[in-house]
Every structure is written in structure tokens, then in C-alpha cells.
Structure 1
Amino acid sequence: MPQIVIIGSGFGGLTAVRTLRKQGCRDPITLISPRPVLFYYASLIWVPAGLRSEEDLTVPLDKFFKRHNVKYHQGTVTGLNDRQVQTDNGTLAFDSLIIASGGRFIKKLPGIEHIYTPCEGYAPTKAYSDRLAALEGGTLAFGFASNPKEPVAMRGGPIFEFLFGIDTLLRKQKRRDKFELVFFSPAAEPGKRLGGKAVKALLGEMEKYNIRTHLGHKMKGFSADAVHTEGGDIASDLTLFMPGMTGPAWAANSGLPLSEGGFFQADAYCRVPGFKGIYAVGDGGSHPGPQWLPKQAHMADLQAEAAAKNLLAEQQGQEAQHQFKTELICIIDTLDKGVLIYRNSKRAMLMPKLRFFNWAKRLFEWLYLRPYR
């Protein structure tokens, strides 16, 4: 029977499993990842307020794997070689492969060790939260950047959420007046891929809540008490920063075509060009689409669905016919309210800040994780 291997136990990898089984696939599926868990990164924004713990965000996948007849292989991928996936815990042969291993943040700026990158996981987010709780006052800096070789490779949404959420938290704690909040970005219009109205609204919210901005200046690096840019330094007692993204470390040993930014090249059907039966989805891939094509879980899910369906069609000798849907859905949460942003190929929509969207984000978390618990 054809051997299907999936790399990654994140959003894209698990959606691929569910789609394959839903489509009636009974072939053996092996999933590779360092840990047999799904970590729900989207709710890290609530950690500083004490609303989520590591246990809340970490979902063991043993039951899910059993229900879907998936063989789990614990290991870290190191490369590919002649239809085999190489890991630090052995080699696995495959007939079809879905790469959903995610990307990684570019850590080249001098002094990057002085900042906290929340989307790297729970540990840095909790460390930042503990530092914040211990501070009696000072300047808090929040920023994000992109990959200069592939500008779409950024993740700015969570930084907006941390910024507004911590502003709300400090106000609830009645100590906002002891802190200055600064938002910085080398982009003159940060968050532009969310749409022009969204950028205007987000910057308007910053002005409304007395959050200083430092925009349009190339990054130079960091130190323990400052952010350094070509437009001057920003004093900072605590810095939250999301660097630009690139592909996984093992991409260079894959033998697969890579984009200029270091991601696996993939077409509109999520196929890696020139390699039959190999697909790339999620943050680790470089896919065709508009300049605002997001690096987010929802996009990984949409690409994984298309990849799984095309994989099965290819096994049956048919042409791929499922292109992934291009869509951006984002709720910028402010801890007690939220702003809904939606964009597709035809329109961009911004809904006003409402408490309903905070509730909707919490409900979506529960609904999304339910199939994996």
C-alpha cells in the first residue's frame, strides 16, 4: 500500500490527516514531529493576563492518532534523500509526502538575545509575562519585521494583539500611567496586507490609547535597554519582537527547490515543482498569491485540505484540481474586545471593535481544539 508521510503536528499537518481520512483514504499514514502534541499558538496572547497556561494550550495527540489510525514517529527532520525522510531518530520511506513543518524566525540582528519572540512557544511568552509582572514601570516596546528576500514572510498580527492586550491589562491593573508603550516597525505602513482601512484603524487605536509609534526605519539591532534603528534608538525595558520568517533549518538538506526567502516552493495546488507526490503547506511553503497572502493557521488549514485532496487524486492517476483558497481572517483581540478583519481576492472588510469578537475568538479556540482532545 502507498506510504503517506506527513511532517509536522501543527495546524497544517493535522488538517491533512483529517482531510485524507474524511476523503476515504485507508493507506498507512505516518506523522513525524518532535512531540506528539498540538500547541495552540493563537491563544498565547492571553498568557500575560493569566488567562491561559501551558496545559491549556498543549493538546496531547495520542487519542487523535489512534482514532485516525496514524503511526506517530517522534523525531526532528534533518533532510530528504531519494524518497526518504531523514530524522535524528531514523529514516522513513514514502510514496507521498506532505511538508507541514512550519517555518522559523530569522535571528540575525545583533542583540536579538535581548528580546522575546512569543510565537516561538510558551516558554518565551511566560518569561516575558513574568518580567512584565515584576516591572513597576518603564518603557515597553513591541514590533515586527519581515524577511527582506520575501516580504510576505512575516507574522505581525500577534504583536498587535499583545500590544493592545497589554495596554488593556495595565489599565485593568491601574498602572498604565507608569508605562510608556511604543510600537515600532521598519515598514511605514505596518500591517498593510490586512488592508488600508485596517492599517488606518490600528494606528488610530494606538493614537487613541497613547501608544507611541516609530515607523519606517530599518532595524539595526537590540540591546538590554533599547531597540536600535537607523531612525534612532528606542529606550526599552522590555521588548517583544517578531522577526521575519524563513523555512525550516532542514530545507537546505532537502534537495527541493527553495524560494529566495528559504521556503519550499509550491504551486497553487501545493505541489513542489518537479517532485511527484511531494506537497508543501503552511508557513514552510512559498505559494503563489497576492502580496497579502498570510502566514497564519487558517491559511495552513486551507492549503492542507487542497494538498490532501490532490495527493489522493494523484495516487489514482488523476490531475490535481484543488487549488487552495486565498483568504485572510483575523481577530485582533484586545483582551476584552476584538476587531474582525477579513480579506479575499474580491474584498477587504473591517468590523468595529466589539466585545462579541473577543467571545468569538474564545469560542473558536474551543471548537478548533475539540476534534484533537
Structure 2
Amino acid sequence: MQNVLIIGGGIAGVEAAIYYRKEGFEVELISDRPYVFIYPIAIWIPVGTSTFDNVAFPLEKLSRRHGFKLTIDRVTSINAKQRAITLEKGGERKTDHLVIATGASKMKHAGIEHTLSICGIPEQSVQLKEKIDALIAKGSGKIAFGFGGNPNDPSGVRGGPGFELFFNLHHHLKKLGIRDRFEMTFFAPMPQPGARMGPKALTLMETLFKRNRFATRYGKKIARFEENGVVFEDESRLESDLTMFIPAGDGQPFIKESDLPLNPAGFIRINEFCEIIGVQGWYAIGDASALEGPDWKAKQGHIAEVMARNAAHNSALAWGFKSGEKKSYRDHLNILCVMDMGNGAGFVYRDDKKALLIPMPIIGHWLKIGWGWYYKMSKMGYIPRIPGM
């Protein structure tokens, strides 16, 4: 039986481990933490409607259920020429069949230590809750949420979770009857954050911002973060008692230092079948890879899962486990999410033909909660997978 080594225990790596097992491979998954953190539902931790333990799903459960080996360790280097990786505790490992699903690093901004991110290390979701609780106890404050860009690869922008947490915090403060005591401002260096969702979605977002008395600071590059605010390129300042900021994705340092083929941002260059250019038998999926496609393309969890399933299928073809045609991730490029707002949601969809944002009062919020349950149950194989989800 052919062995495959998968590095990365996030959404992409987990999907790859499950589907490589389905295709008949012996699988070892290497992760630097013992759980998959379900980032799409982490937005509720800071406002107290979910807990860390509900969002962090143990990899050991998935390992036992699907029969793959789980190793908790951290990759420190990759050498494609020698077909080897180096682990912090496990030393060098050689492999002819590797799947890189290690996710992205983050752009480095001056003073970033003065911010917290809902898309950063999982523990920051709890730190955000502590900061929010402290502000509520104080009774008033200035709150600034934002996200940044990567000029070398715009697909690494993560704006949606910032908007979701912003709306959820607004709803939380309203329920407590203290929303009018807080200044809430959203900031971003681009003139139209969220533009990739399409013009109709932008118009609706602007309406929601005005209705809920959100201030904005758009179109100014971020010079630095300070303990009590954000300083922009023109030295103007946004005062803040709490700054939540999502830096854009960037290549992992150990990947940038490798001999893998990379794009200018440090993401791994692949073909449409997720095969790493020039490295036979090695694949890259999810945020670690360089996507090709339309200008509005975005790295999302469902795209990472498509790439994982396609890599498993294409590997099975390459090793003669099955017959058929290779599958391309480009056929599935779209933007798809339920943007939760605490008391409802907006269904966001975009492809080459259309761009939608459909309001879903009340039921949208419960649909997103249901998706979190569905993710866990379907990954464990307790319920059937719904195509496209």
C-alpha cells in the first residue's frame, strides 16, 4: 500500500487525510497542534456564544475514526531536491509522496503585538473575549476592527471574519443595552474592502454600516499599531481601546526558505491539479498554495477542501489505484459563505457569472450554527456529506 505524508492539521489537511484514506493510501498526518480549529465558527468565542472547546475539534478522534496515523510535531524545513522535511522533534523525514497543507503565515506590521486577530493563533480568540469582557465591565470604549492586504497576492486577504465578529459584537452590546456607549470603527487600507464580493454586496454592506452607526477608515495604508490605536500613512490616528486586526496571508517562513517553486508572496506554485510545479508526487493545497484564477478569487475553506479531495483523487490516478481523469480546482473557484451577524446572516456567493449577497434574518444565524455541527458530524462520518458543503 502506498504511503502519503500530509503536513498541516487544519481544514485542508484534515480533508486530505480523510480522502487519501478513502482512496486506499496509508496516511500519516503531521500537525503542530492536537486539534483542528474550525475558524468559521470561532467568531462566536469572543462574544461568549461559543467556547474554545466547541471550536477546537480533537484530531485524535478523526484519526481513530478514519484510520490515519497522527503525529504532533512542527515542520522546520523542507528540501524538495532531497525530497525531505525536517521536524522539530522527529528529525528528517524523506518522502516521495507529500501533501503540504500548512496554511499561511501573516503579513508583519509594525506594532502588531498591540492587536488581536480572530484569524490568528487560536488562543487569541479567548484573549479577544477577555478584552471585550473587560471593556463591557468598564462600561464604554472605542473599538476598531480591520484587515490588511498583501500586494504580492490579494487572494490571501481575510476580511469576512472581521465583518462577522464586528456585527456579532454590535449585536452583543445591543442585547446588553450598552451599544450607545461604544464607538465602533472598521478600517482597511483598500478603498472598498469586500469589493471581491461584488457591487450589490458592497451596497448592502454600506447600508448596514450606516444603519448601525459604524464609522469607517478606508483607503489609507497602515503605518503602525500602537497600544491605544492605529496610525495611518498620513500620521492620522484612530483611537482604540481594542484593536482586532486580520493581517493578510503570506508564505510560511520555512517555505520561503525552501527550494520549492514560489510566487512573490511565498505561496507554493502548483498546477490546476494541485501538483507542485517540478516536484513529482508532491502536492500543495489550501492557503499554502498559490491560486490561479480571476482577480476576485479568495482562499476559503471550501476551496481548500476541494483541493484536498482532488489531490487524493489525482494521486490515486498517478499510483494506478483507479482510472479516470484528473480533477482541477479551477472548476470550483467561487466565493461562498454565510456571513453571520449575530441575529441573522447574509448569504454571499460569487463566480464568473454572478455576485450575490442575500439577507437572511434570524434563520441565517441558525444555519451557520448548524453548519458547525454538520462539519464535525460529517467529518466523523456520522452523517452523509452534502455535495458542495
On whether the aligned pair clears a TM of 0.5, the verdict is yes
Q: Is 1:262 matched with 2:266?
A: yes
Asked whether the 8 Å contact 2:262–2:269 carries over to 1, the reply is: yes
Asked whether the 8 Å contact 1:2–1:95 carries over to 2, the reply is: no
* Shift in Å, 1:320: 6.2
Aligned to 1:72: 70
Q: 1:321 and 1:153 mapped to 2: Cα distance? A: 26
Residue 311 of structure 1 is aligned with which of 315, 321, 324? 315
Aligned to 2:104: 103
- How do 1:233-312 and structure 2 match up within 5 A? 233-312=237-316
Asked whether the 8 Å contact 2:143–2:185 carries over to 1, the reply is: yes
SS of the equivalent of 2:2 reads coil
Q: 1:320 and 1:271 mapped to 2: Cα distance? A: 15
* Shift in Å, 1:66: 2.3
* Shift in Å, 1:372: 4.3
* Shift in Å, 1:221: 0.8
* Cα pair distance change 1:29/1:245, threshold 3 Å: same
SS of the equivalent of 2:155 reads coil
Moved more, 286-295 or 121-130: 121-130
TM-score by length of 2: 0.91
Q: 1:225 and 1:304 mapped to 2: Cα distance? A: 42
* Shift in Å, 1:195: 1.4
Q: 1:121 and 1:211 mapped to 2: Cα distance? A: 27
Q: 1:2 and 1:165 mapped to 2: Cα distance? A: 46
TM-score by length of 1: 0.95
Deviations 1:196-239 (A, max 9, x none): 21122112211110000111111111111121112521111110
Q: Is 1:222 matched with 2:222?
A: no
SS of the equivalent of 1:152 reads helix
Q: How many residues align?
A: 370
Aligned to 1:117: 117
Gaps of 5+ in 2: 381-389
The alignment yields a C-alpha RMSD, in angstroms, of: 1.6
SS of the equivalent of 1:50 reads coil
Q: Is 1:149 matched with 2:152?
A: yes
- How do 1:127-138 and structure 2 match up within 5 A? 127-135=127-135, 136-138=139-141
Aligned to 2:93: 92
SS of the equivalent of 1:59 reads strand
SS of the equivalent of 1:256 reads coil
Q: 1:331 and 1:195 mapped to 2: Cα distance? A: 15
Asked whether the 8 Å contact 2:73–2:89 carries over to 1, the reply is: yes
Asked whether the 8 Å contact 2:120–2:246 carries over to 1, the reply is: no
Asked whether the 8 Å contact 2:21–2:67 carries over to 1, the reply is: no
SS of the equivalent of 1:289 reads coil
User: Which letter maps to 2:102?
Assistant: S
User: Which letter maps to 2:98?
Assistant: L
Gaps of 5+ in 1: none
Q: 2:17 and 2:305 mapped to 1: Cα distance? A: 11
* Shift in Å, 1:319: 8.6
Asked whether the 8 Å contact 2:223–2:232 carries over to 1, the reply is: yes
SS of the equivalent of 2:255 reads helix
